[in-house]
Structure 1
């Protein structure tokens, strides 16, 4: 997905420049055409520790040169403020499943941005020929994230546990 405009957001592919700048600076700006993108200190939140690995794994050539395939930043179209990040965690597995993840900076919580952005991510990933099912995990205490998934047609499929997040609910969305 190249950049996509929703009602209030601009969804941009996560790029090499974004990764490099965030690893160098807590807060920074980048240009995207006429728009100045403002990356606040609390972006991207929890995914920051994986940025070095994402940077290392970037393709040097091809249509996604310098972009993390399936990962996007969420930008307030009116202001240029980067309010979140979302994407697929890995390519589809043998069963055609792709796990998604998303997160917003606290200042953007409760404004419908997650639902707006993840709806577009679901549409995008279901255009991939090898994708049959999208999956997600939510902390059992993250009711807002559960509501996002429910609104978008995800069904709760079970539970799991992780050392980092504790008890989790698992979700699936069929094509």
Structure 2
């Protein structure tokens, strides 16, 4: 994985490395009432994304993943993609000047239908093992596609309250 194109390494260092974003999706609960889903993403380095989810059906999920970063326009647009143990595919576009996030998440059937089982911290082996089991439910066609947009609430450098991880820690 890493940075694409490789020539964008300097732009990655300036734009993304060690950047920590907090943002709220404007969503609705099961009764149609407005609610906010807070997400927290830390682009720890060129190989990892580190994140926590504080709102919505996935609230209580703390994870890190091997990430793939793509520079669309240096200083302006970056895309970050990753695959989770649950089988969920995530893609996030960060619009730096507009302080805006656009994302697409293709939830696996297990992750979406058993959202509570997707909660926890990946560093806990029982959570990690349970998440891997969620990927076995359904097929590739059994996906819930969720497209969302959010404006940043906070934008800073460093881990904040997230725990740094070593690149040797396992992902998929």
TM-score range, shorter chain: under 0.3
> Using CA pairs below 8 Å that are at least 6 residues apart, which structure has the higher relative contact order?
2
> Structure 2-normalised TM-score?
0.27
> Structure 1-normalised TM-score?
0.27
* More helix, by proportion: 1
